[in-house]
Every structure is written in C-alpha cells, then in structure tokens.
Amino acid sequence: MVFISPGVKFDLGLIKKYDTAAPRYTSYPPATELSEAFTTTDFHTAIAASNQRKSPLSFYFHIPFCQSACYFCGCNTVISNNKNIAKPYLEHLAQEIKHMSTLIDPDRKVLQIHWGGGTPNYLELDQVEFLWNKITQNFDLDPQAEISIEINPRYVDKEYIFFLRELGFNRISFGIQDFNSEVQIAVNRIQPEELLFNVMDWIKAAKFDSVNVDLIYGLPYQTLQTFRETIKKTVALDPNRIVVFNFAYVPWLKPAQKNIPQVALPKPQEKLEILKMTIEELTSSEYLFIGMDHFAKPNDELAIAQRDRTLQRNFQGYTTHAGTDLFGFGATSISMLNDAYIQNHKQLKDYYQAVANNVLPVSKGINLTPDDIIRRDVIMCIMSHFQLYKQDIEEKHRINFDQYFSQELEALQPLAADGLIKLSANYIQITDIGRLLVRNIAVAFDQHNQTQERQFSRTI
C-alpha cells in the first residue's frame, strides 16, 4: 500500500488492472483525430471566429533542432551539429509570425508564451534575440505574461541563462530524466550531476519565477533503488515543479527507441514499485500531486490554478490560463482554438514552401462539433480538477447531464465499484486513487475513442 495523500491508500493490483492504453488528453479530440481534409481556408475561418471571441492569446514556438538524439525521445526533431540550419528556419518563422500578425486582432494580448522543441537553446544568443524581437514587434505582450523556455542543460552556460532572463523569459524547464550514469549512457543523454546542480544554481541566481524539471521512469537499467536516488537528488535541486513521465517503449512508432535494449527495461512490477516510491517520496517532500505525472509545490502557479479551477491541459501537459486561444508557430506545432485544432507541416521543406508563399502552413486539423465541445469540457474538467459538477456542464451547454451521458455513467459503474470515482446525483468526484488512473475515467466520455494499444501509451 502507498499513501498519495494523508489517509488515502491504493494497492498495486488495482493499478495493474487499469494499466491499459489511452490518450493523454492533452486535447480532446486527441491529436490523432486531426485530418488532412482540414484546409487553410478552414484555418482562416477559425482565426476569424477566434478574433470575434477576443480571448487572450497563448503562443507556442517550436525549435526542432537537437545536437544529439536521446534514444527515448519521440519528438519530431532534426539532429545536427551544423548550427547554420537554424538560420533559414528562423527566417521562415519570422515570416510566419509576420503573416499571423496580420490575421490576429492586434488588440488581443499575449498572456503566455512557450518555446519548446527539440532544443530551443540550440539557438545562439543572437538568434534567440532575433526571434524574441520578431514576437515582441508583432504582438502585444501582457506585462505579466508567463514566458517559458525548455533548455537542454548540456548546452547552456551562466551567460546564456542570464541572457534569457534579461530578455524576458521568466519560467524555465529542463530534462533530467535520470541522474544514474548507466541509465544516461543507455539513452544517449549523458549529463553529470554537477552540471545539473550548476544549471539550477544559475537559474536561481537569475531569479526565474518557476523552474520545472522532467524525469522519466521505465528507462533501461532503472531499478527501484537507482530511481530513489534520482528522486532524492531531484528534491535536493528544489524545482518548483516536477513532471515524472512514464516511458512508453514503442519502437515501431519512435525509431530512435530501437537503440534501447528491451531486456534492460524494468519489468512492469518494478515500474509500478518505482511509481509508488516516486509518489511517496515527492508527496512527503512538500510537493503536491497535481494529477497524472505532475507534481508542484503548493505555492506554484500550477497548484494555485488547480485550486482556482483555471488549470487546463494543452499539448505541453497541464497549464495555467484556461480560456486563451493557443497559436502554434513553426514546423509541427499545433494551434488549439476554441473550436478547431490545426497542425503545421512536420517536414521542413513543406513548412518552408508554404511560408515562403505566404500561405498558412497547415498540414491537418479538425473542426470540433458541438458534441466534441461538450465532451471536451467534461474530459478537461476530469483531467484537471478531478471533480465535475453536472450543473456546470448543464448550464453551459443546455443539456441534461444524466440523459446526455447515460451510457457513459453506466460504463463508469465498475470504476466506482473499484473506488476510482464517486458518482452522485450532482457530481462526479475522482478519488485520490483515481487521479493516477484519470485517463481510464476520461476515456469513458471519449466519442472518438478507438483506443489502440499501438497508438497510445499505457496509462501507467
């Protein structure tokens, strides 16, 4: 038995029972539903509707380059040590920003910016400044905007960190994955402990508002003991947020994983023990279990947003600022508007060609139906707040919840019997045990659900 909050326990048998494949619900419908039938005209229509709503803006900028391949990674990256390849990319990104600025109402403020990848700090400092200037020259940033960047700790120095902070970045995130050197060698990501502590010292000295670190459990050669060491060292680093991803071994989808010896992966039972220990260690070290794989200190914005019910999910995971329209820039990036999701071309040549022709670089997308929007509200409420008041959904969407979702409520009965949820006349409450298995609960409301083991990762 393990305690995930005081007085609450769960057994591993229950976790095993629900260890099935399910979407991570960073969006609903999931990104797998995006279709090439969606056109640039559809995107223009969606932007016009977004302007009508006048909702504030959230931006994502994708930098797809990395200096070397981490074998666990499933991101769409270009591996190269030739820094010149970033130059044409930035020029096209600048052109995309300019084009989008002519389409988005200039009165709309930007509340949130995130640079992800790939490796955003693949860029040289003058390139970072170039992109920053293009953003600030074309859009109106709120003075309180949350501006975050992912960095690879192997490729920064103190000057780089301080430069980011002076430019205006106020949140930062970096991947640790595992402190253990044998694991690091096996996944081709060698970053000594001393380096990680130095990077954290520079970040703290530069006074970033929040620091997130990522860990991964289920990597080759991990054991309960080695990962306990990793958790203890991570707590000693003292980040504001910790995300502990479950490693999904899917080499048929992510070719770099073929470099990982399958026999070295921890067995399912050991993975569960690692998960249990991780939750125990972090929740007894002042971190709150936000949900799924996220932990945050009680005074962190993520924990505050959960308390204020403004937490939501987007393609980066949990995020603050519900109610913004997210526009993605750069190859692969996804825009999430209220009633449409749009993905840019993945291949650089397709992205370059569209941008050069002053055409929105749309590769696929989806227009949400009214039913999708109702279900999204339900699923996001479950995923982010772990409780749903039926009346909120009924008033917002003018439905009778119990009638509209009669089959779904029926399907949830066995989960209620297993203690994952409490079903009452007025609300659905996810229990502390259910938080770990929240994808299994959300999937009951997924109309697009054609869950395939090969398409989605397992829930634990």
Q: Give contact residues for ligand SF4 (rule: CB under 6 A).
A: 66, 69-70, 73, 75, 77, 117-119, 152, 175
Residue nearer to ligand SF4 on the CB measure, 30 or 175: 175
- Closest separation in Å from C-beta 119 to ligand SF4: 5
Angle at 333 between CA 330 and CA 335, to 5 degrees: 115
Closer residue to ligand SF4 in complex, CB, 69/235: 69
Q: Measured between alpha carbons, how far is 225 from 217 in angstroms, rounded to an integer?
A: 12
Could you tell me the smallest distance in angstroms from the CB atom of residue 66 to ligand SF4?
3
> Which residue, 57, 58, 61, is CA-closest to 329?
61
Least CB distance to ligand SF4 at residue 95 (A):
24
Q: What are the φ/ψ torsions at residue 282 (nearest 5 degrees)?
A: -75, -40
Closer CB to ligand SF4, residue 39 or residue 347?
A: 347
Least CB distance to ligand SF4 at residue 75 (A): 4
User: CB of 245: closest distance to ligand SF4 in angstroms?
Assistant: 11
Minimum distance between the CB of residue 134 and ligand SF4, rounded to whole angstroms?
23
Residue closer to ligand SF4 by CB (options 64, 434) is: 64
Contact 94, 134 (CB under 8 A): yes
Distance of closest approach, residue 115 Cβ to ligand SF4, in angstroms: 12
Rounded (10°) angle between helices 193-205 and 224-237: 20
Closer Cβ to ligand SF4, 332 or 343, answer by number: 332
- Asked if 115 and 93 count as a contact pair (C-beta separation under 8 A), the reply is no
Least distance between ligand SF4 and beta carbon 305 (Å): 25
Residue 188 CB, nearest approach to ligand SF4 (Å): 8
Nearest to 437 by CA among 2, 6, 17: 17
- Based on CB atoms, which residue is closest to ligand SF4, 161 or 443? 161
Residue 278: which of 236, 221, 216, 220 has the closest Cα? Answer: 216
**Residue with Cβ nearer ligand SF4 (71 or 132):** 71
What are the E-state strand segments in 107-221? 109-117, 140-151, 171-177, 210-217
Cα–Cα dist 72/41, whole Å? 37
Location of structure tokens 């996944």: 187
Structure tokens at 430: 């996810």
Overall residue count recorded for the chain in this entry: 460
Determine if the peptide bond prior to 175 is cis (ω within 30°).
no
* CB nearer ligand SF4, residue 81 or residue 424: 81
Helical H segments across 268-423, by residue range: 268-283, 301-308, 348-356, 370-385, 390-397, 401-404, 406-411, 413-417
Question: For ligand SF4, which is the closer residue by CB, 47 or 86?
Answer: 86
Cβ neighbours around 80 below 10 Å, total: 14
Place of tokens 């099935």: 20
Which pair of tokens denotes residue 440?
A: 């299994």
